[in-house]
Structure 1
Amino acid sequence: MVVCFQYNRLFLFKSILTNVFPSYKWYSRTPVVVRYRAQSKALIKQNINTPEYRTLLTPSLLKLVELFKSNQHELRVAGGAVRDILMGINPHDVDFATTATPEQVRKMLNEANIRMINANGEKHGTITARIDDKDNFEVTTLRVDVVTDGRHAVVEYTQDWQLDASRRDLTINALFLDFEGVVYDYFNGIDDLEHRRIRFVGDPVERIREDYLRILRYFRFFGRLADDNATHDEETLRAIRENANGLKNISGERLWVELKRTAEGRNAGSVLRKMLEQNIGQYLGIPSDVDLNQIEDHWRKCHQAKPEALTILTKLFRDMDEVIYSIIKNALYLFL
């Protein structure tokens, strides 16, 4: 009975969060011209030939690789898929980056009679190729941020891999992998991954202000990858505290997705506690007087059963009125 009630509370919380904080265009945000670029100390290259890498090389992908190669454009695996491969995990989603512009990619695919789908992605520099009528490959042109508003960025295309890496959130997500098995690491992401360190690329303040959702992404990856006894870098936590109010600019749907993923992490109890200690809860519609000890204890008692995220998050609320009041209160700024 109590469990059912708690689930109902959380489903209501999710519904209100994702509807009261919708994506909106009328909220005024001051754009920021990007003048800072994270500087790479030195490019590190590492060769791999793991089962996870070899599994990636399907006939469909090799057909795409050969097409780019024959047109003298570079194509590499980017971001999270490289991280997963280095961890011995077969990546679920694989993104590709290229030096070719969207127009050049489209021209190549048309000439090769390869179908393109999801035309909406092209405005972001992404073209999706469908090969052999079964495999989809999202290919994005290398980009660099020119203007940001904390949610979205105006970008320019580039052929500089380091510049593209410098706009990514975490060092472990700023990796590229070519089809000779070479990993390209501009910001020491391989070493951070080996030691389970979660670091922003360059200055944490700059990375956060480019997209405030990166605050929650930091905690999600910390909970997923960091060692049980790992500690947070104080400079990073200070940057998070000082910029947490930027989360009010993020749509409720995006906030919910990251909060849910954080609650699903390997160390969700301690990570949620540390996250709420940075005064982030007020921007998620979470009461300010949550019993942090109770959250961590609740997770510790049930985590071995691999509970759903909602089971963990029920401890954030005490009653229905509290849920509704907190979320509506923190949504009022949208209409001022």
Structure 2
Amino acid sequence: MWSRTSCLLGVGRTSFYRRSLFTMQLKTSEFQSLFTEGLSGLAELFGKQQHELRIAGGAVRDLLSGKRPEDVDFATTATPEEMKQMFQTAGIRMINNKGEKHGTITARLHNENFEVTTLRVDVQTDGRHAEVEFTTDWQKDAERRDLTINSMFLGLDGTLYDYFKGYEDLQNRKVRFVGSAEKRIQEDYLRILRYFRFYGRVALAPDDHEPETLVAIRENGRGLAAISGERICVELKKMVVGNHAAHLLELMYSLPPDGNVEEMKQVWQNAKDHSPKPMTILAALFRRPEEVEKMDLRLKVSREEKTLALFLVKYRRELRKSEDNPDSLKPFTDFIIDYQGEEKLLAELSRWSIPRFPVSGHDLRRMGVTSGKEIGATLQELRDIWKKSRYQMDKDELLSYLLIEQTAAVVEKGHYKN
């Protein structure tokens, strides 16, 4: 069952939107599985106080796609103060309320956390942050969201509320901004990357973009310079392991120069079916270690990710050649697979795992090494030796090596004193 109602309504400072509310009933098993004891209690509490409560954003998109969402966010007509009073009266614990000024209260019921946000409108934006005021108008809240497929609400009775044809776009595998692409982007420039990420998740074809959307992205791409590296990194890492990542990265690199796009496209094609690490794909864009350093300064990636990127850039030629001698880089077989897309190597990797390092700090203490700092340095030295032996040396062999080193040091020290 579905229906559509329409009326002309002016919204915002400079634009008008045609209100066209689409509704339907959703009664899937994925939706029903959300109703835990905690959610039932939350729904009862809001219902008693006559505050509307709906599932919002990405969880609605996932449910309409036949997926059970990992995270479920809720929207409500109740203000943060009303929610706090309601939860306090009911004896419900509230946690981590740093988002209260933006309207978000997190309540804990039956060992579950429920994040509930008051409906909002943006009163001022600067491309990174927004000043908001609260509203009871569901359409106004939907209008401030980025993409049509993320702007829908789902009532706890299964009623879908869709103001901007998000359901239709999801069915047609289209990714569009709510209203003006330029305006949505200028409210938060990170939405450029969010567009690409969701395009990879939803669209069937790699190049089915609306021309005006690409124009808005190109004209506002420089706005990403003001966005924190951490936020950019989160979006990039999700995008590069999704569908059409090679095309999307190439599209993005049509703006900045010098990315090794052809290498990236080949690596992605080889790696896409093997759940590659995001940095495996991103590193293919870099030609020199200095470019990895610049990326790290901008995106503030983890040490592991930076190490991986430097390794791939440094040993790219060896990775290409290693298919003739895969044992030469056995510990890095998973990286080689990502580059070469070799099913044979993948099967080999599944049969092989690095053994457990056989030496512990307790072993060293029994040999007289007592300083914590010295124990750490000695364990690292022995681990490096163990790696060079292709993980073949056992505990006795490693400790014997250490004993020889200690004896040599004693002899050298005694000789020096004499």
Deviations 1:8-28 (A, max 9, x none): xxxxxxxxxxxxxxxxxxxxx
Q: Does 1:322 align with 2:300?
A: no
- Say whether the 8 Å CA contact 1:39–1:166 is kept in structure 2: no
Corresponding residue for 1:226?
A: 203
Q: 1:199 offset after TM fit, Å?
A: 0.2
Task: Determine if the alignment matches structure 1 residue 304 to structure 2 residue 304.
Answer: no
Q: Distance in 2 between matches of 1:139 and 1:148?
A: 22
For 1:330 and 1:179, how far apart are their aligned partners in 2?
39
Whether 2:130 is the aligned partner of 1:142: answer no
Amino acid at match of 1:314: A
Q: Secondary structure at the match of 1:89?
A: coil
Q: Which residue of structure 1 aligns with residue 51 of structure 2?
A: 73
Label 1:202 to 1:40 Cα distance change in 2 as closer, same or farther (>3 A).
same
Cα distance in 1 for partners of 2:246, 2:16 equals 32
> 1:173 and 2:150 equivalent?
yes
Task: Tell me how far apart the structure 1 counterparts of residues 21 and 120 of structure 2 sit (CA, whole Å).
Answer: 18
Shift of 1:38: 6.2
Question: Partner residue of 2:171?
Answer: 194
Tell me the secondary structure at the aligned position of residue 256 of structure 1.
helix
For 1:137 and 1:124, the matched residues in 2 are separated by 16
Q: Shift of residue 231 of structure 1?
A: 1.3
Residues 229 and 298 of structure 2 are in contact (CA less than 8 Å); yes or no, is this contact kept in structure 1? no
Amino acid at match of 2:285: L
Residue identity opposite 2:146 in structure 1 = D
More deviation in 50-59 or 140-149? 50-59
| Structure 1 unaligned spans of 5+ | 1-33, 282-287, 332-336
Letter paired with 1:298:
V
CA distance in 2 between counterparts of 1:113 and 1:226 reads 45
Matched ranges for 1:198-277 at <5 A: 198-277=175-254
Q: Residues 81 and 55 of structure 1: is their aligned pair in 2 closer, same or farther, counting only changes over 3 Å?
A: same
- The number of aligned residues is 289
- CA distance in structure 2 between the partners assigned to 1:119 and 1:307 by the alignment: 36
User: Is the Cα–Cα contact under 8 Å of residues 206 and 247 in structure 2 kept in the other structure?
Assistant: no
Q: Distance in 2 between matches of 1:301 and 1:92?
A: 29
In 2 relative to 1, CA 109–328 (structure 1 residues): closer, same or farther, beyond 3 Å?
closer
Write the distance in 2 (CA, Å) between the matches of 1:240 and 1:276.
12
Tell me the equivalent position of 1:24. Answer: none
Aligned counterpart in structure 2 of residue 64 of structure 1, from 42, 51, 70: 42
CA contact (8 A) 1:37 1:166 kept: no
- Structure 2 portions without partners, runs of 5+: 1-11, 301-418
Whether the 8 Å contact between 1:171 and 1:201 is mirrored in structure 2 is yes
Off by >4 Å, runs of 4+ in structure 1: 325-331
Pairwise CA distance, 1:228:
3.2
Q: What's the offset of the Cα at 1:119? A: 2.1
TM-score by length of 1: 0.82
Are the equivalent residues in 2 in contact too, given 1:219–1:271 (CA < 8 A)?
Answer: yes
Distance 1:310 1:330 in 2: 12
For 2:234 and 2:263, locate their aligned partners in 1 and report how far apart those are by CA, in whole Å: 23
Q: How much has 1:328 moved relative to structure 2?
A: 6.3
Alignment of 1:39 with 2:1, yes or no, is no
SS of 1:88's equivalent?
Answer: coil
Give the direction of change, closer, same or farther, for the CA distance of 1:303–1:68 in structure 2 (3 Å limit).
Answer: same
Deviation at 1:122, TM superposition (A): 0.8
Moved more, 72-81 or 52-61: 52-61
1:293 aligns with 2:262: yes
Q: What's the counterpart of residue 315 of structure 2?
A: none
